[in-house]
Structure 1
Amino acid sequence: MPGATAPRTAATAPGRPAGAPGPARTGRGAAVVPPLAVLAGVVAAFGWVAAVDPNEPGHYPACPLLRWTGVHCPGCGGLRSAHAVAHGDLVTALHANALAVLAYAGFAAFLAVWLVRAATGRPLELRPRPVHVWSLAALALLFTVVRNTPLGRGLVP
């Protein structure tokens, strides 16, 4: 038809030479890279802790809060717990730091959801409400208080 112009494509857009490649498309393959990178980091960290036993003195620094005050923080025993989890010993892991075991499980679930959503092309929106953040902080505080009283003697690593 006289006077009609061809539709513009990425290759024929103004300022782009004919035959030049268009903008790169990012597919689902690129979306799974961040969760896979985090997974690789977690596997590497757990692999390191599995190989280098935190129960042997001198491998890791001591908890400064425990050293200077005698108070077990919510993270005390976390490396020993991770070591036990890496070796499949859940009972020892729970005794070393039950809160850490719950955190490992929660993070594993989060990572699985992130990976599935990335693989299916759905974005992951993480918008915790203040009540969720405060609840987690209260749980950590309660765990810390209980494990430093005679009632929580079984929670001390």
Structure 2
Amino acid sequence: MTDANLDRRGADRLKAVLAPLGVAAAAGAVFAVVGTIDPNQPGNYPTCPFLWATGLYCPGCGTLRTIHALAHLDPVTALGLNPLALAMVPFLLFWWGRWMVNAWRGRPRRTTLAHPAYLWAFLAMVILYWVVRNLPFGVFLAP
């Protein structure tokens, strides 16, 4: 392989990983901002529109405070605020890592995130979580 081919291959790899690196940078920026600006203080962030309109918690309620707790290395508090969001972190890291490795290796992007059965099961789990956290016996899931 010539030096020109090696240089081209390196440039192609760098170009391929720009998207996953951009997502990582954006996630890091969100993590830094939410870790710095406390969502527990009134007025720092808007109220959840679903909570405001209905008085019920959505599946995402408590996620900002969960991120803030994780930024301050407090996983116990994070678990109490939104266990679903905390449980999603390893999956998101896995998918991002797989995307990064495949981009680095020059493999084509997959057009599907996961098998449809897994996505439907996840959707059902989110809806169940949404309902249960608003019932009297599910108060432990409320933020």
TM-score by length of 1: 0.79
Whose helix fraction is larger, Structure 1's or Structure 2's? Answer: 2
Segments of structure 2 that go 5 or more residues without pairing to the other structure are 1-7
- 2:66 aligns with 81
Distance in 2 between residues matched to 1:106 and 1:124, nearest whole Å: 18
Distance in 2 between residues matched to 1:126 and 1:89, nearest whole Å: 36
- 2:46 aligns with 61
Distance in 2 between residues matched to 1:92 and 1:120, nearest whole Å: 38
Q: Letter of the 1:95 partner, please give it.
A: G
Distance in 2 between residues matched to 1:64 and 1:32, nearest whole Å: 35
Where in structure 2 are the equivalents of 1:95-134 lying within 5 Å? Answer: 95-127=80-112, 128-134=114-120
Could you list the structure 1 runs, at least 4 aligned residues long, displaced by more than 6 angstroms after superposition: none
Distance in 2 between residues matched to 1:126 and 1:54, nearest whole Å: 35
Distance in 2 between residues matched to 1:136 and 1:36, nearest whole Å: 26
Shift of 1:28: 1.1
Distance in 2 between residues matched to 1:101 and 1:36, nearest whole Å: 22
Flag the structure with more relative contact order, 1 or 2, with Cα contacts below 8 A and sequence separation at least 6. Answer: 2
Shift of 1:71: 0.8
Q: Letter of the 2:17 partner, please give it.
A: V
- 2:31 aligns with 46
**Pairs aligned (count):** 134
What do residues 94-127 of structure 1 show as CA deviations (whole Å, max 9, x unaligned)?
Answer: 1110111122321111111111121222233141
TM-score by length of 2: 0.86
Quick one: percent identity of the two aligned structures?
45
